[in-house]
A and B are shown apart, each in its own frame.
Chain A
Amino acid sequence: MSRIRAAKSLLALREQEELEDLPNDYPSSTSEDEGDGGGERKHQKLLEAISSLDGKNRRKLAERSEASLKVSEFTVSSEGSGERLALSDLLEPVKTSSSLATVKKQLNRVKSKKTVELPLNKEEVERIHREVAFNKTSQTLSKWDPIVQKNRQAEQLVFPLMKEQSAFAPIEHVLNGWKARTPLEQEIFNLLSKNKQPVTDPLLTPVEKASLKAMSLEEAKMRRAELQRARALQSYYEARARREKKIKSKKYHRVLKKGKAKKALKEFETLRKTDPAAALEELEKLEKARMMERMSLKHQNSGKWAKSKAIMAKYDLEARQAMQDQLARNKELTQKVQMASESEEEEGGEEEGDLVPDAVNEAHMTADGLNPWMVGNHSSDAKEAEIQKDPEQLPEPMANEASESEEEEIPVAEEEILLKEFEERRSLRKKSGLNQDAKPVGRQETKDSSTQEVLSELRALSQKLNKDNRQRRKQDVGSVRTVLSVPREGPAAEEEEPQLLQRPERAQTLEELEELSKEGCFQNEEFPRPASEGQQLESNNQPSAPKKKMKEQMIDLQNILTTKSPSVKSLAVPTIEELEDEQEREQKQMIKEAFAGDDVIRDFLKEKREAVEASKPKDVDLTLPGWGEWGGVGLKPSAKKRRRFLIKAPEGPPRKDKNLPNVIINEKRNIHAAAHQVRVLPYPFTHHQQFERTIQTPIGSTWNTQRAFQKLTTPKVVTKPGHIIKPIKAEDVGYRSSSRSDLSVIQRNPKQLSIRHKKQLKKD
């Protein structure tokens, strides 16, 4: 019995131990118990139990040395219960049998599971909370990084950042609340209300409203089309006028003007025939214009323009012409219109009659192809020619006058006649072209002189033209009788005198020269040269005749130069350049003479040499006289010794002005300037050139345009006085501000109150 009991107790013990680790539902079998590989102690126990089976030794009851809750009825103490049974103990036997694989798996799973750790203490929990919160906030803050960066680097910041938008209220709203208070306002208000002008609701007046209602769609369309057409026409005419205005050609304008004048005349004529009263009115208008002109200073050469022209007139023929034209216009306008014109016509007629023979004469001559005065020259002696010249030149202008008087209204006719003359001469030249080619080269002298002559003639002609314009008027006003009664030489002399006045000695000298040359040529040549030569020479210049007039000034200059040169000098090679060279040379000579004493260059070279010497590092002589040898007055240390103690200075760097012969660069440091110079490269700059560049670019308005100056001097921070600058907001810079308010977030937050505070509240 006891044996069985012991075995039972053993089993119970086993089972108990097993149950500690295994779940209850495990199938328990006896086979597990076999081959118990427990510790030594268990083995010992087993041995004891077995030995007690034979009954000799009574089995000792296990001692209970400590209080235990579990007291087994089989006197099994819980002695071993303190030692934990490792899972591996149980698994070892399982290894052998393969049928228990599921159990094994389950056991392995149990083995891999870990127990839950103890909760962290409060401080650590808070720390973690803080860290998480900090990371979160720094993330939200980092969205400001680009803005902060931008603002820091901004060229200019204008505060307040957000511009307050002025609310636009429609004018009706503004005016609704308005009432006339002051008497003036009330008066205006009354006026407006009388005229049915809208005051409080300024959209449309009743008239406008009515008109809006009145017009039908059809009508409106038609009207619109009409307006469109009118507008198109207008723009077309405008464009045309603009185009015409742009035309620069004077001739075109002249023609246009003439055309207009003719038209006006025609109209006037027709009017006179059809409606004398209207014509009279027209005349009166003209008279009125004349009166106005007489009153005003408009064409008196006294205006700003005229004054400026007067300045230019010295240099510019055209300006002179323009002034004269203006004066002429004045005269024209101030002329008596009706009466004067009739008398003029009569006078003109008479004049014509008287002068006809001359004109006919001239025409005849030109037809023959011979210039009247050249013919005279040719036929008579040189001296004779000189005397006759004046009277012979006369008929031409007289004839001109005659023709002019016919066409008072159009003075340009004169010019036309002149041009005709020139053209005739040109044709003559063409005829005698072969003759010219055949001439010997030795005749150049005469050619030159004769060109001068031609020039003078030309000038005379042009001047006469001008004069004629003036004198014609005089003659018109003055009685024609006197002109006629005076012998021919009279008016001629009158005409010649001013001409001479205008053109002093030069013309005379030229004429003399010409005479001289002519005499010469007559002497040299056996057969007298026909007048054709002179004509031909003349005609040399003729194609450019109109141009010549313009370039007169230049020609004059040339004339002066040529006349200045002694007449004895060969006229064949007089060049202007040579003269200029000579002048330069003279001037140089003069300068040389004036500064004969000072040799600046040598002085400079000397100075430079001295500067170079002074800047060279000096050798140091350390010889002590009398040291190691005899000393005294008159004794010098030996050359050997001197050589030994002479310390040669090292060669300095090459001078900056070494290769610049005209410059001395002082390389010494200027103390006075140094006081104002920056000694150390300031911080943000990395190279001195950078810094120097910033200093050397001027920012003042003396060196910059106004706009650049403004741009360069923009202040970094601009604030408006009297404006509150609010802290930057997310909305200002385009970020979305958090929609939830901070307050709502706190209130939603469950752990809003700290434990400590709760305690405090409880105490309260």
Chain B
Amino acid sequence: MKVKMLSRNPDNYVRETKLDLQRVPRNYDPTLHPFEVPREYVRALNATKLERVFAKPFLASLDGHRDGVNCLAKHPKSLGTVLSGACDGEVRIWNLTKRNCIRTIQAHEGFVRGICTRFCGSSFFTVGDDKTVKQWKMEGPGIGEEEEPLHTILGKTVYTGIDHHWKEGIFATCGQQVDIWDEQKTSPICSMTWGYDSISSVKFNPIETFLLGSCASDRNIVLYDMRQATPLKKVILDMRTNTICWNPMEAFIFTAANEDYNLYTFDMRALDTPVMVHMDHVSAVLDVDYSPTGKEFVSASFDKSIRIFPVDKSRSREVYHTKRMQHVICVKWTSDSKYIMCGSDEMNIRLWKANASEKLGVLTSREKAAKDYNEKLKEKFRYHPHIKRIARHRHLPKPIYSQIQEQRVMKEARRRKEVNRLKHSKPGSVPMVSEKKKHVVAVVK
């Protein structure tokens, strides 16, 4: 009789080094691991609580400006470099890793209205209240050299915004009209207009680079085609749009930051109904910027807070504020999608984590696995009341909090009135207008 022995390969259970964890053979028989739902629920609850415990998004404040920060720009090639323009005409270049200012330029008299970098990162452009467009080198001047712009273009009217083409040496300014400039020439190669109000911002589409979007103070958003040198369509909203931002992953989607506290995400092919109305701010939204992944965007508001919205959700997932932060004028999401910068009235640029509870630095594989598991658990149990409540809870400054309450009441009253009107009128005489359509006044072809 031959006795057959159970034999295991030592590779399966012997550690390579002493520091390795012991490999534990597992039995996955479900009867041995009962109560999977309650156990996972508890894990999810703990993960949610821990997320709130570790939510410390504020990283740094960059101070140095002597007036409110009016505009921000990312360096296209270097993650650690940021440019900012202030209301006193000063432009500063910052090193984020060291958190210090590496260069200061007195660029304009009056506000620096807009700043943008060239796609290759070798130079940047500024426009100011002194009716000039200036191009600067990214590297500082050598010793003994004077800080001078590469080119200066003197215009007839004030330029209120500037943006650079994503691939070629073209940039666009806005003011009385949208001008498109060749970098080599001193006069615009093309200039487009529709209506007579001043245009506050112009943005190139990052994917289909010949498309531009602009918003003017007569409450409209106009889209242009640079190749055909013609405007395409105009949508008029309830109130003025301050700026727009194109989605870097979806060519036809853009989001508009509006004065009526809301943000509107549009599909540019169907402007009559916004894809999504994002509401949560309690004051005018001043700036918006997409995450480079195109899944979320951040908005800066006059209510002294910034909020992060998922593209497909109408409510924000996160709100950042500090006691000292005043009206936030500009905001940018860094190109690695990990951080957010915002410039505000009180002369500071603040650096935030895009994910409030994310651990910075290198994660071990076990940490990463645990993080992923926790994320999935939170997602799985996000509808459960306790978890929902904890995950949603945010501390807010009192003014914002009370404003939210007030606006809730107002909104409820408006809704009730509408319902009542509908109820007491002849059927069909009062149309039921959806929330999305309510804010669009007209689309002009």
Contacts and interface: CB of A to CB of B under 8 A. Distances in A.
A750 B269 CA distance: 27
Residue of B156, B192, B251, B386 ringed by the most chain A CB atoms within 10 A: B251
Contacts of B295: 717
B225 interface: yes
Given A130-B231, A753-B191, A318 B248 contact: no
B211 A137 contact: yes
B232 interface: yes
B375 A749 contact: no
A760 interface: yes
B384 A677 contact: yes
Interface string A734-750: 00000001110111010
B300 interface: no
A695 B226 contact: no
Interface string B362-403: 100000010011011100110111100000000000000000
Interface stretch (A16-24, A60-68, A636-644, A702-710): A702-710
Interface in A667-716: 675-679, 682, 691, 694-696, 698-705, 709-710, 712-715
Nearest to A757: B191
Contact of A141 (B269, B336, B377): B269
Contacts of A730: 207
B427 interface: no
A700 B40 contact: yes
Interface string A307-318: 000001000101
A157 interface: yes
Interface in B146-199: 156, 165-170, 177, 180, 182, 187-193
A699 to B, nearest CB: 6
A112 B294 CA distance: 60
Contacts of A752: 189-190, 229
A695 B381 contact: yes
A703 B206 contact: no
Residue of B79, B170, B182, B228 ringed by the most chain A CB atoms within 10 A: B228
Contacts of A753: 190-191
Contact of B210 (A127, A159, A742): A742
A752 B228 CA distance: 8
A700 B336 contact: no
A712 B188 CA distance: 55
A725 B37 contact: no
Contact of A137 (B170, B191, B207, B232): B232
A727 B188 CA distance: 27
A99 interface: no
Contact of A159 (B292, B375, B384, B386): B292
B97 to A, nearest CB: 10
A754 B292 CA distance: 35
A713 B335 contact: no
A749 B230 CA distance: 11
A676 B384 contact: yes
B227 interface: yes
Given A725-B292, A727-B207, A757-B191, A703 B36 contact: yes
B392 to A, nearest CB: 14
Contacts of A239: none
Given A159-B292, A725-B337, A743-B169, A754 B383 contact: no
Contacts of A714: 372
A691 B193 CA distance: 53
A130 B167 contact: no
B168 to A, nearest CB: 5
B423 interface: no
B260 interface: no
A129 interface: yes
Contact of B445 (A127, A136, A678): A127
A151 interface: yes
A715 B207 contact: no
Contacts of B41: 676
Interface string A132-159: 0110111011101000100100000101
Contact of B229 (A148, A159, A746): A746
Contacts of A704: 28
Contacts of A727: 166, 206-207, 248-249, 292
A495 to B, nearest CB: 29
A142 B338 CA distance: 30
A133 B292 contact: no
Given A700-B373, A742-B170, A746-B190, A725 B250 contact: no
Given A713-B369, A754-B193, A728 B40 contact: no
A131 interface: yes
Interface string A152-168: 00000101000000000
Contacts, number: 200
Contacts of A728: 207, 248-249, 251, 294
Contacts of B373: 699-701, 709, 713
Contacts of B380: 694-695, 699
Nearest to B189: A746
B86 interface: no
A739 B79 CA distance: 30
B268 interface: yes
B377 A699 contact: yes
Contacts of A717: 293, 295
B364 to A, nearest CB: 14
Given A717-B293, A727-B248, A678 B385 contact: yes
A741 B252 CA distance: 20
B43 interface: yes
Contacts of B381: 695
Interface in B21-55: 28, 30, 33, 36-37, 39-41, 43
Given A675-B385, A713-B376, A754-B191, A151 B233 contact: no
Contacts of B43: 700
A439 interface: no
Contacts of B248: 725-728
A183 B2 CA distance: 64
Contacts of A715: 372, 375
B217 interface: no
A341 interface: no
A550 interface: yes
A107 to B, nearest CB: 44
B433 interface: no
Interface in B325-346: 335-338
A248 interface: yes
Interface string B200-238: 000000111111000000000001011111111100000
Interface string B75-95: 011010000000000000000
Interface in A274-332: 312, 316, 318-319
B232 to A, nearest CB: 4
A719 interface: yes
A743 B232 CA distance: 19
A694 B36 CA distance: 12
* Shortest 9 CB-CB contacts between residues of A and residues of B: A725-B292, A727-B248, A727-B206, A698-B36, A713-B372, A724-B335, A134-B232, A138-B269, A745-B227
Interface of B: 1-3, 28, 30, 33, 36-37, 39-41, 43, 76-77, 79, 156, 165-170, 177, 180, 182, 187-193, 206-211, 223, 225-233, 248-253, 268-269, 292-295, 335-338, 362, 369, 372-373, 375-377, 380-381, 383-386, 445
15 contacts: A137-B211, A137-B232, A676-B385, A679-B385, A712-B376, A715-B372, A715-B375, A725-B337, A741-B167, A742-B165, A742-B170, A743-B170, A751-B229, A752-B189, A754-B191
Interface of A: 126-127, 129-131, 133-134, 136-138, 140-142, 144, 148, 151, 157, 159, 248, 312, 316, 318-319, 550, 675-679, 682, 691, 694-696, 698-705, 709-710, 712-715, 717, 719-730, 741-743, 745-747, 749, 751-754, 756-757, 760-761
Given A710-B369, A753-B190, 5 more contacts: A142-B269, A695-B380, A695-B381, A700-B39, A721-B362
